Structure 1
């Protein structure tokens, strides 16, 4: 968006709407009432699933913990993104709103969506890192995420998001293609070489590839530690808890990886002969991705389920034995550390 403020000539070159009339593409080709209604319904359902989880995450018992602070922040980003990418986009599809119908609003809507996308990616990556450190060493996790350090992470997210959004041309919703693309005049004007070089800069792809590599590295380390730790675990209850954490991180990491991969190669996919059939799936994949955390939390996170009174399972002793009275026993310790009962 730097050209919006500092280079109006360049902005007019690529975002000028005076060279054609919106009605060049008939309204019936731009309007997709059924698609728009389904998109709004999907976004509304996922948002309604998310709101109770946000309420549970905001409870004092949970919000004091760094991982739940990250989850709460991620939830705020996801809900905002659902409103922008599902509910607003659905309305655009119903009314056939293209970029030049409302250029200023559509431009800033795209800037918001692009910024939230990168914020979500970085938050998901940090959440995976937090879970990895907590899984490996609680004190190490506290050193990186405890106290006011969480404020540093959130400010870092906003700083990087602003930097990316400032220089990366926004993804603008186009009802003709039913997707978010960086080509504001799709369906009206063919791209030339200069426009393509401007609208598809390479460095944001490098940034997303860096996040992809970091996410892969974090998850690989998480997997290695989990396998190593599982071999040493004796208590069944702890093993189940670790497995639940592992599965949650697995799903969130895989979904984040998939969406980031799609973003990285969306330019290449759109250039394929059948790209117009592939790119719309990105929109629904992205919406489902934004709404996936509450589904994972409600299915796998017992802490959130208990906060919402959805899990009343009583606590069971790890070996299934309760009310056992302790009795004293005398032992001698041998030179090699073995305890030998005294008869």
Structure 2
């Protein structure tokens, strides 16, 4: 994201130069549509994400419902007292965000047969967000490992 701020736009970054063709030309030249993968990803991400009746709120996806039910168990007082469950709740929230973004956006781009230069700014920003979520997930997992090691070796410090 620093390069985006430094250069002002993705198109002006030297390593991400897409000026040789228009967005449509890039897709026609190098794009390959993946309808089965695209529909699978979208269905995975949007299965229950529709409004029911006159309600204006959208409902979470099936996977998000499963995650939320697991997280609700972790919030029970007997579990929430333990530090490992607090870490796992944080990991679950980060993972829920990443799953939602990955499934729907990947599906739409696969259906279109989009390549990097079809939507360079969008791809750069979403890629940065997903990379941040992945790094956050990795750090949280390392924290969980450290927590478990301390819990097993020195329970008094935990």
TM-score band, normalised by the shorter chain?
0.7 to 0.9
After superposition, residues 151-300 of structure 1 pair within 5 angstroms as none
CA RMSD of aligned residues (A): 2.6
Find the partner of 1:30 among 25, 32, 35. Answer: 32
Cα deviation for residue 9 of structure 1 reads: 8.8
Cα deviation for residue 60 of structure 1 reads: 3.6
Specify whether residues 132 and 55 from structure 1 end up closer, same or farther in structure 2 by C-alpha distance, changes over 3 A only: same
Q: Secondary structure at the match of 1:26?
A: helix
| 2:153 corresponds to | 136
Specify whether residues 29 and 7 from structure 1 end up closer, same or farther in structure 2 by C-alpha distance, changes over 3 A only: closer
| 1:116 corresponds to | 133
Count the aligned residue pairs: 141
Higher relative contact order (CA 8 A, sep 6+): 2
Cα deviation for residue 87 of structure 1 reads: 2.3
| 1:50 corresponds to | 67
Task: Extract unaligned runs of 5+ from structure 2.
Answer: 46-60
Larger radius of gyration: 1
Once the two structures are superposed, residues 92-115 of structure 1 have per-residue CA deviations (whole angstroms, 9 ceiling, x without a partner) of 112333333332222110001111
Once the two structures are superposed, residues 13-39 of structure 1 have per-residue CA deviations (whole angstroms, 9 ceiling, x without a partner) of 122332212324428943211111222
Once the two structures are superposed, residues 192-215 of structure 1 have per-residue CA deviations (whole angstroms, 9 ceiling, x without a partner) of xxxxxxxxxxxxxxxxxxxxxxxx
Specify whether residues 2 and 24 from structure 1 end up closer, same or farther in structure 2 by C-alpha distance, changes over 3 A only: closer
Once the two structures are superposed, residues 141-190 of structure 1 have per-residue CA deviations (whole angstroms, 9 ceiling, x without a partner) of 1xxxxxxxxxxxxxxxxxxxxxxxxxxxxxxxxxxxxxxxxxxxxxxxxx
Task: Extract unaligned runs of 5+ from structure 1.
Answer: 142-343
Specify whether residues 27 and 63 from structure 1 end up closer, same or farther in structure 2 by C-alpha distance, changes over 3 A only: farther
Once the two structures are superposed, residues 279-305 of structure 1 have per-residue CA deviations (whole angstroms, 9 ceiling, x without a partner) of xxxxxxxxxxxxxxxxxxxxxxxxxxx
Find the partner of 1:105 among 113, 118, 122. Answer: 122
Say if 1:37 and 1:94, in contact at 8 Å, map to a contact too: yes
| 2:16 corresponds to | 15
| 1:91 corresponds to | 108
| 2:5 corresponds to | 5
Q: TM-score, normalised by structure 2?
A: 0.75
Say if 2:3 and 2:13, in contact at 8 Å, map to a contact too: no
